[in-house]
Each structure stands twice: as C-alpha cells, then as structure tokens.
Structure 1
Amino acid sequence: MSDHTTAPPVVSQYQAPAPPLFDSFWPRPESGATRALLAALISGAAAAVFIPLDGPGIGWTLFGALAAVALLFAVRDARIGRLLWAAAGLLLLSVCALRSAEWLSALCVLTSAVAAALAVSGARAVRELVLMTVAVPVAACRALPWTARGMRGRVRGSRALRMGFSGLVALLLLLVFGALFAGADENFARIADAVVPELDFETFFRATFVFVPFTLLALGAAFTALRPPRLDPAGGERRTLRGPEWAVPIGVLVALFALFIVVQATSLFGGPEHVHDSAGLTFSASARSGFWQLTLVTILTLPVIAAAARWAPRRSAAERNLLRGLVGALVVLTLVIVGSALARMWSYQDAYGYTVLRLLVMTCEIWLGIVYAMIIAAGVRLRAHWLPTAILGTAVGALLVLAAVNPEGVVAGANVTRFEQTGKIDPEYLATLSADALPSIDRLPADLGQSVVLDINANAGELSWRSWNLTDALNRP
C-alpha cells in the first residue's frame, strides 16, 4: 500500500478576455483589408479631384461613378438589392450634371448618401435602417486598426513596399533638383510651372479636408459592406396590448378626424368659390389658415399607425379585422386631409404665383399620399416587412421625378403663363432662379425678360470645369 496521496487537479484561473464592445454583434471582416484600402484611396482621390466646391456640376457624377466601381471591386457582392440602391444613388448624382439649381443638387447629393448607405448595408428592417445612420462613421474608426493588421503581413519585406519607398526617394530628388534647375534657368522654370500643379489654398483644402474625410468614409463603407451589422431579431412572443387598450385611442382619433372633415368640408374643398363667397376671406388666408397644421397632422399620423400595428393583437380573426378597420379608416381620412392640403396650395398658387417652395410642399404632400396608399396595401394582409424600404424607394423616386420635370423651369413657365393671362408677375423672384428657368423666361417680352436673364447669369458667375452641367451649357452664353 502506497503512502503517496493523489494531488488535486490544478484548475486554471485564466479567463479569455471579453471581445471588444462592437465585436459581440458586429465582428470584423475576415479578409479584404487590402481591397478596402485601395477602394478608399481611389474614392478619396476621386473626391479631391472631381467634387466641385463652387456649386453643382458633373464632378459629383464622376466622383460617384468612380467610388461605386471602387467599392464594388472591394466588396465583390452583386446582390440585386445592393445594385439597385447603388444605381439609385448614381441617378441622383447625375442630376448634378443635368440641372443648375443648387438646392436641387444638394437634395440629390444628400439623398444619394442614404441610397449609398442602403447599398452598402443591404438593410431592410426598421432597426437596421436606424442603425445605418451611424454605422458607416463608426465603421470608419473600426476599419483603421483592421486595415493596419491586414496590411502588416503583406507589406513586410514585400517588393511593393521597396518599390514604393524607391518612388518616394525619386520624388524627393525630383523636387529638390528640379527647384534648383528652375531657379537657374527661366525656360526650365516655365516648363516646371506648366507641369507642376499650383499649390494654392484650394489645392491644400482639397488634399486635406476633402481627400481625408472621403477616404475614411469610403473605408468605413467597405468595412460595412464586407460585414454589415445585424441586430438579432426580438426573441419570444411579441408583446401586445389588449383590444380596448389600443382600440379606444385609435377609435377616438378616427372620430376626431371624421368630425373635422365634416365640419370643414366647405373650406376644405370649396376652392375658389368658397373664397369668393366668404366675406373677408382671401386666397392667402384660405391656404395658410391651417395648411401647415394639416401637413403636421399628416406626418404625425404615421407614428400613430406604426404604434397601432406594433401593439395591436392579431391572434384571432376578429382582432385582425378590428386592426384593419380602425387603421384603414384613419388612413383613408388622412388621405382626405392630404387632398385638402393640395387643393388649398393649388388655389393659393393660382392666385398669388408659383414658387419652388410651394412646388416642393405639394410634392411632399403627394409623396405622403403614396405612403398612405402603401400602408393600405400592407394592411390588407397585415404584412409590412417591405414597407420601410418601399417608403425610402418612393422618396428617391419622387426626387428623381422632380428633377426630371425641371422644377424651376415648371415654376418659371407657370408664372409666365399667369403673366400672359393676368399681366401679373414677380421679376425679382424669377431673377433668383437658376439657368434651369431660362427657356421659360425667354417667353417674356424682351424688355422684361432680358433683365431677368442678365440677373440669373450674373448670380451664377464663373464656374470651374467640375461645375459643368448641361443646363448651363445649353442656355448660358
């Protein structure tokens, strides 16, 4: 019998470190750092070279095309949803090469950024769409160490690194000895001035404040496209309210909407006849009294419908029919209010003239009407997984249609037609428009139209090649 006792097993106290904060739900891509960095550098260089700083122009279109090609090379993902959103973003940027209106180009550039985010992420659910508002900037910060680690093994001792260092030495020698030769001979100095770009403030600004941010954003976009963030779907049974708990508030709101429409039926749809028959009422007062309130009602009804769809129970056929009935009634009544707002604004413009802001308001009201029609379609089967992206898609489509019809040309043409019918016009307002309005302004009498044309051309000033657009090329001298 042995006197030795068995020693207890040694239990290791080591615990693996917890993953970084973001890696738990958004892990880094396993590969692609080299392609992502190359795509980011190409995108940043394209931004620095092409993006116009003095107005809209073809530079935005060229930048978008190069950046899209570079990111497609980096991601190598040709899913149809991503390609459609990328195409929508490029169409929006192409407006900058076609139209001269700065406000329209600004709207298109901002909306193209949203389309690009959707193309990068492939987001569809509401929570994913909300997450994408911060995903790319966050990814730009996370992509820097990821890219550095991915490149470290490639450049260490590589021939490409040695050739890159050799190129830097050659550039340094060229600058030093070229500057000495330029100072020694005037003819050589003229050649150097023609070849070497002028290092002015704009060049410095483009190299520092355009190249760097766009490079970082493109790197974050490539990072996101290679590994989009995904939120886990809510587990367990969906929590809902009892029938009366949600039906009573919605029912009260439906009754309120119906009562308002009945009481205001004459003023809502009376049009010019109602204004003429009402003592002391003007078109301005008729359109402005309540117009913005009705527009706000139209917008605020959307989250109310979303809350009802989220919290209403759907276990039985009766519960589903109650949801369809109350929400459907609310949507139909809201569409009536949308039609009222459009009628008021149309009467106001017919009496006081047409402006771009009024046309934009009408376009937004029409788009909201389309959104409510889609809500009705989703409510038929109580399935709305497609609705968030459809809403964004119709917003992009509405902006593209607006750009296609040339809003400033439409506004100018409507004002000229009104002048031909009534003799009333506001030349000072027409002078604030862009070259998009020039074809319509040519219909004015020479003594009136010439001064407007001169003011429009003077306001535009001299533009760089990056700011070239088709409207200026066709209509400005």
Structure 2
Amino acid sequence: MMRPKQPARYTDLTEQTTFAGSMDATVATTILSIINAIYVFFTLIQFSYLFGSFALGLPEQFTYAEYARRGFLNWYWSLLINFTLLLVLLHLTKQSSAPVNRAIQILESLLVCCTMVMLVSAFIRMYLYEQMYGFTYLRVLTHAFMILLFVLFLVTLFRIWNKRIKLFKYYLLAGITAFVVINYANSDVLIARWNIDRYNQTGKIDVAYLATLSHDATPYLVQLLKAKDDSVRKVAENQLFGQKQMLNKPQAWQSFNLSNLRAKQLLNQEHLQRNQIDPSLSHEIYDD
C-alpha cells in the first residue's frame, strides 16, 4: 500500500542564516586581549600627545587645525573599528564558563573605556579648534555627534553587564532624542552667542559668517554695533543694513515667520547706513 505523500517541509531561512553564538569564547578573549593591549600601550605611551589639550596647550610641530584634524581622524577610524568589533562580539560570542564570561565582560568594558578616552580627547581637540577659529554649524554638529556617540558607548557598556538590554531600542531612542534636541536647541542662536562671547574674550570674530545665520541670530549681531573695534562695528552695520533692506521688501504671506518679524522690528529701531570699509576686514580667516 502506498503511503500518502508528505507535504514538503521548508526550513526557516532565519534558522540557517543566524550566526548568534557562533564564535568560541577563547577566540573572543584572544581578540579582545590583543586589541586592548594595543590600546592600553598606545594610551600610556602617547598620553601627552592625546591629552596635551587638557592643559590647553599645543604641540610645537602642529597648528590648531592640524592638531584637531589629526585627532579627529585617529578617533574616527578607531571608533569605527571598535564599535563594529563590540557589536560583533556581543552578538557572536558563545556562552562559556562563568570565569571566562566574566573575563570577556571585563575585556569588552576595557575596550569601551579606551574608546571613550579617545572620544574625550577628540572632543577637547575640537574645543581648542573652536576657541581658535570660532564656532560654525559643522563644528557644533560635530561636537553634538561626539556627545551622542559617548551616550551610545555608555549604553553598550551597560549592555555588556546586562544581557537583557536591547541595544537597538536604546540606540534608536538616543538617536531620536539627539535629533529632537538639535532641531529645537536653535543652533543659530547658540553659534551667535558663543562667537560673541569669544569676541569679547579674544577680539576675533567673523561677522560675515554670523550674517549667514537665520534671523534668530540678528539680536546678537546688533550687539556688535557697540563694538570697540571700529572695523567690526562697520562690518556688522553693513550686514545689518542689508538685512534691513531685505526684510522691508514686500514678501508673500507664505514666507512669514516670527523670527523675521522680530528681526525686522529690531532693525527698524536702528539707524543704519552702509560704510566704506576695506574688503579684507569683512571676515576673519577661520582656518589655518
């Protein structure tokens, strides 16, 4: 008697393609030990190079621009390698005996800490760069990105010691929070305020760059009309004179916003005129 034909069985592809727990704990320990030995050695030997910026000093052979860029590039590649390595190890490493598992946790934590040390160093380098050349969108966003990465590594550190933490969920939450904060923090106002504070301390400012910001920054640009430096005052007045002319032109109702209205009302209270100035004084060189 013929048996009824059994329906074909299909294997779930996710069962075939999953690699979770496929790396032996000994391999993971070896990789982490080698990587951490390199980082610890590098940090100890190059400590003065990495953290000379703590004393707000600068190595003799570097300009501020070179010092910041080199630190940022070193940090970028190290971060990329470390972040990828941590995620791979957290996902692939097999569970072993309690002592081995604890050793892996310690080594992974050490890798996170070394990476965060480099992140702090890069953060300070960028701060030095901003103090020397001023604040811009790109530099402020770079700082914000560093803070976000610091938070992500903290989450990863907690995940190392608590397997119940879902990395993707907290990464997504941190990313959304950072996006909301950046959009509602009004970067234009912060950049203008910090550059004005820097001008009061150093006497250096790029007035032309401030004029490219949104009209939220106009009240800070108006402050420069009282600047002691005559060239700064004239450049600021020229920029504000141009803004005043533009804001007083008839505009479609769709372009209305409160920022423009406040700037228009503020500038209409000022008696502005266009000054003849040396074109070389219209902006400060922001890079070296």
TM-score band, normalised by shorter chain: 0.7 to 0.9
One of 351, 366, 370 as aligned partner of 2:151: 370
1:450: which partner in 2?
237
- Deviation, 1:389, is 1.9
1:338: which partner in 2?
119
With structure 1 as the length reference, what TM-score do the two structures score? 0.47
Percent identity over paired residues? 24
Write the mapping of 1:109-188 to structure 2, written as runs, cut at 5 A: none
- Deviation, 1:361, is 0.3
One of 205, 209, 213 as aligned partner of 1:429: 209
- Deviation, 1:468, is 4.2
- SS where residue 205 of structure 2 aligns? coil
2:36: which partner in 1?
254
Q: Which amino acid aligns with 1:475?
A: A
CA contact (8 A) 2:25 2:96 kept: no
Q: Which amino acid aligns with 2:139?
A: R
CA contact (8 A) 2:56 2:128 kept: no
- Deviation, 1:329, is 0.7
Q: How far apart, CA to CA, are the structure 2 residues paired with 1:462 and 1:403?
A: 29
1:160: which partner in 2?
none
- SS where residue 313 of structure 1 aligns? coil
State the superposition RMSD in angstroms. Answer: 3.3
CA contact (8 A) 1:345 1:362 kept: yes
Larger Rg: 1
CA contact (8 A) 1:367 1:394 kept: yes
2:88: which partner in 1?
307
- Deviation, 1:440, is 2.0
1:473: which partner in 2?
261
Q: How far apart, CA to CA, are the structure 2 residues paired with 1:326 and 1:272?
A: 27
Structure 1 residues 426 and 321: CA distance shift in structure 2, 3 A? same
1:404: which partner in 2?
184
Q: CA deviation digits over 1:106-146, x for unaligned, max 9?
A: xxxxxxxxxxxxxxxxxxxxxxxxxxxxxxxxxxxxxxxxx
Question: What is the number of equivalent residue pairs in this alignment?
Answer: 251
Write the mapping of 1:26-41 to structure 2, written as runs, cut at 5 A: none
Runs (5+) with no aligned partner, structure 1 = 1-10, 12-23, 25-230
Q: How far apart, CA to CA, are the structure 1 residues paired with 2:122 and 2:92?
A: 30
- Deviation, 1:341, is 0.7
Q: CA deviation digits over 1:133-177, x for unaligned, max 9?
A: xxxxxxxxxxxxxxxxxxxxxxxxxxxxxxxxxxxxxxxxxxxxx
1:351: which partner in 2?
132
Structure 1 residues 238 and 363: CA distance shift in structure 2, 3 A? closer
Q: How far apart, CA to CA, are the structure 1 residues paired with 2:242 and 2:83?
A: 43
Q: How far apart, CA to CA, are the structure 1 residues paired with 2:234 and 2:178?
A: 37
Structure 1 residues 374 and 275: CA distance shift in structure 2, 3 A? same
2:279: which partner in 1?
none
One of 393, 410, 417 as aligned partner of 2:173: 393
CA contact (8 A) 2:75 2:118 kept: yes
Q: Which amino acid aligns with 1:378?
A: R
Q: How far apart, CA to CA, are the structure 2 residues paired with 1:359 and 1:413?
A: 13
280-289 vs 405-414, which moves further: 280-289
**Of the two structures, which has the highest relative contact order with CA contacts closer than 8 Å and spacing of 6 or more?**
1
Q: CA deviation digits over 1:188-244, x for unaligned, max 9?
A: xxxxxxxxxxxxxxxxxxxxxxxxxxxxxxxxxxxxxxxxxxx98648995422222
Does 1:321 find its partner at 2:102?
yes
Q: How far apart, CA to CA, are the structure 2 residues paired with 1:351 and 1:402?
A: 24
Q: CA deviation digits over 1:47-89, x for unaligned, max 9?
A: xxxxxxxxxxxxxxxxxxxxxxxxxxxxxxxxxxxxxxxxxxx
CA contact (8 A) 1:240 1:313 kept: yes
Q: How far apart, CA to CA, are the structure 1 residues paired with 2:143 and 2:48?
A: 21
Q: CA deviation digits over 1:240-299, x for unaligned, max 9?
A: 2222222222221112221222222112222274635x4343222221223123123223
Structure 1 residues 354 and 316: CA distance shift in structure 2, 3 A? same
- Deviation, 1:360, is 0.3
Q: Which amino acid aligns with 1:405?
A: A
Q: How far apart, CA to CA, are the structure 1 residues paired with 2:48 and 2:184?
A: 36
- SS where residue 76 of structure 2 aligns? helix
CA contact (8 A) 1:271 1:347 kept: yes
CA contact (8 A) 1:409 1:439 kept: no
One of 4, 13, 27 as aligned partner of 1:245: 27
Q: How far apart, CA to CA, are the structure 1 residues paired with 2:252 and 2:193?
A: 29
Q: How far apart, CA to CA, are the structure 2 residues paired with 1:251 and 1:334?
A: 15
Does 1:271 find its partner at 2:53?
yes
